[in-house]
Amino acid sequence: SLDSAGMDTVTFPNWNVGPGSQTYELTFWHSLANDTNRGNDTVKTTTTTRGHDIATVSISIAGRVRAGQAVTPRISLRSTDYTERNFTAWCVVDSAGTTVYRDSVTIDSVPEQAMRSFAFPSDWTVGPTGATYGITAWHDCPTDENPLNDTLRAATEAVDQISILWLYSDYGPPDTTLGVRLRALGDSVVFMDVQSSTPTPGQLEPYDAVGAHSNYQFADPTALGNLLADYVDAGGGVVIGNFGLTSGWAMAGRLMTGDYATISPGANTQQSTTLGWNNAGHPIMAGVDSVREVYAGDGGFVASAESIARWADGRPYVAVSANQKVAGVNSYPGIFSQSPPQRGGDWALVFHNALHFVAGSVTGVGEFDPFRPALNVTLDAAPSIARRGVTVSYMLAAGSEYSLDVYDINGRLVRSLAAGTAPPGVQRVSWDMTDAAGRRVGSGIYFCKLVAGERSQTSKLVVE
């Protein structure tokens, strides 16, 4: 019985739930004969069982490595619902059909909903300039129920160095801070003072990437921003460091607008913080375990940009522009310092990775290669956890026939997002987390799959 205007809870017999990472549709209804309002008789919902899933999210080797140097490969692994223990990860490097490096590392544990990086015991000695390599990293966690993200592949080339021009408006060049660290990572870097003058296009042209930061106003921030946007249009890549992202010292011009924009300038907040949320699978975060900073502006991610990392206190840290050729790194790389130092951890590695990314020398997760399908998923909360909606960015060779679909953990088609003939450039489509019938999907694991001809790329989503 149910009293007038009352509510009661009914308990059904036990349900024997199936294995992990399975999604179920639940339907509840009643059959009261004299009910005059059938619109609220039935409730439908979905639920997903917790699953064992270890994802290989990044490899520490970028698209270019310095010829002849010894490199220690690192693998980054992320667990979803459980702490996974006692398994093995491998790394293999091949060149022209020959395996030149193979090693394994024992994984003691990867905590629930956390990421850890592990160094392989032995170094790989890179070959001569021009040698190309294929890198494969994977794990064998026996409890893993999702094999789709266990293996990560990338390609790299042995080069003399990547050539960088770093522009500064500061007390002096950041040679003893950023410079020494970039050179140790195999980069060639030259510094140019832009406090009193703006460079010419010809001065930028010889370099693979250009970086910029300030601690004073640029000589002409609008002219410099326009110049750097022209450099991007000509095929170059740009990284902006702080205080180029802080009001009063900020970059301006076209570089801070439209498809070039990354992080909007904010107030100069001096507050010690550490690395917070980050997309560990993005090449800019490859090999990054911890970072510490004080000087970060309190602006925000530009709506069109891809957010890569935040500081633990909520300030934006790293973002990539819609055209994938500009990176904003909200961290100060210059020579002004306090005691104790305001920076720490892998801060220079983030700049190094960002410079390689915008220069087009990084392959693997998140790359936009015009000759093969590429896909990147940017979410409003985190790169793999969706709460309200999802924006999917992708790029294909113009004229390619393609399809972009969402599947559940069992491989069932949930929603078709796009299909047809690909136009040129980066494309974006939103998913409101509903299925083909317009119903909101349940919590659980989903996969966004881009297919073009015989090529495909898949990105995992977790819907909360």
Each residue of 292-337: pLDDT tens digit?
999 999 999 998 788 889 999 999 999 998 777 899 999 999 998 7
Tens digits of per-residue pLDDT, 113-124?
A: 777 878 899 989
Residue keyed to tokens 């070039």? 260
- Quick one: pLDDT at residue 372? 41
Q: Do the beta carbons of residue 56 and residue 151 sit within 8 Å?
A: yes
**Other beta carbons within 10 Å of 173:** 19
Residues near 97 by beta carbon (within 8 Å), at least 6 away in sequence: none
H or E element that contains 375: strand 374-379
pLDDT band at 382 (very low <50, low <70, confident <90, very high): very low
* pLDDT at residue 332, as a whole number: 95
* pLDDT confidence tier of residue 63, bands split at 50, 70 and 90: low
Cα–Cα distances in Å, from 12 out to 9, 15, 28, 94?
A: 10, 8, 11, 57
Q: How much is the pTM?
A: 0.52
pLDDT-derived band at 194, boundaries 50, 70, 90: very high
Could you give the CA distance from residue 407 to residue 460 in angstroms, rounded to a whole number?
10
Alpha-carbon distance of 283 to 318, in angstroms, equals 12
Instruction: Return the SS3 of 176.
Output: helix
Please check the confidence at residue 160 and state whether its pLDDT lies above 70: no
Closest CA to 362 of 449, 423, 287, 305: 287
Mean pLDDT value of segment 360-368: 42
The arithmetic mean of pLDDT across residues 96-123, rounded, is: 89
Q: Identify whether 423 is preceded by a cis peptide bond (ω within 30 of 0).
A: no
**Banded pLDDT at 397 (limits 50, 70, 90):** low
Contact assessment for residue 167 and residue 211, using Cβ atoms and an 8 Å cutoff: yes
pLDDT given at position 295: 92
CA angle 385, 386, 388 (to 5 degrees): 155
If you search the block for the tokens 């994977």, which residue do you land on? Answer: 138
Domains and their CATH numbers in the chain = 54-159 (2.60.40.10), 162-358 (3.40.50.880), 374-463 (2.60.40.4070)
Contacts of 404 (CB under 8 A, 6+ apart): 375, 392, 394, 416, 417, 418, 419, 429, 448, 449, 450, 451
What is the band of 48 on the pLDDT scale with cuts at 50, 70, 90?
confident
Q: Quote the CA–CA distance of 414 and 448 in Å, as a whole number.
A: 10
Phi, psi of 40 (to 5 degrees): -120, 25
Give the pLDDT band (50/70/90) at residue 8.
Answer: confident
Element (H, E) at 451: strand 444-452
Q: What percent of the chain has pLDDT over 90?
A: 39
Mean pLDDT of the chain: 84
Asked if pLDDT for residue 388 goes beyond 80, the answer is: no
Q: What is the DSSP code string of 250-316? A: ---SGGGSGGG--B--B-EEEEEEEEEEE-TTSGGGTT---EEEEEEE---B-TTSEEEEEETTS-E
